Amino acid sequence: MKPLSLYHSVRQYAKRHSIPFEIQVEDIEIPEICSVTNKPLNDHGPSCSPSKPVLNCLDWSKGYIPGNIEVISRKGRDLKMGRRKKLRSYASKAPVTLPTINLK
């Protein structure tokens, strides 16, 4: 996928979801290897291919701003999102210790 294609698709996504978007096409650098999976990015094949490049925010609270984006594979993004979901799930299931009340 070319930087321009990633730019347009993410710009539309950011607009629909009211996410800050301040990047330019020049800010998008597509590496040959995904930094998460350590496998080559592949622009060929179906759009749901796990090796397809996607533009990801490092810190979602900041949005798409220069220095806060990375291009990783679709599988890499899914792995990162899975880790976030797993952490949220763990935090919500953390045991809560309530104080004991002595009723004498």
Handedness of CA 29, 33, 36, 39 (dihedral sign): positive
Sequence-ordered alpha helix ranges (H) in 1-104: 3-16, 74-93
Q: Is residue 94 part of a domain?
A: no
Q: Tell me: the pLDDT tens digits for 16-56? A: 999 999 999 999 999 999 999 999 998 887 777 888 999 99
**Which helix (H) or strand (E) element contains residue 53?**
strand 53-57
**pLDDT class of 73 with cuts at 50, 70, 90:** very high
pTM value is: 0.73
With CA atoms as reference, report the closest residue to 1 among 31, 22, 39.
31
Structure tokens at 19: 């996410």
Considering its fold, how many domains does the chain have in total?
Answer: 1
Q: Is residue 68 part of a domain?
A: yes
Enclosing domain of residue 26? 3-78
Q: Is residue 56 part of a domain?
A: yes
Q: Is residue 28 part of a domain?
A: yes
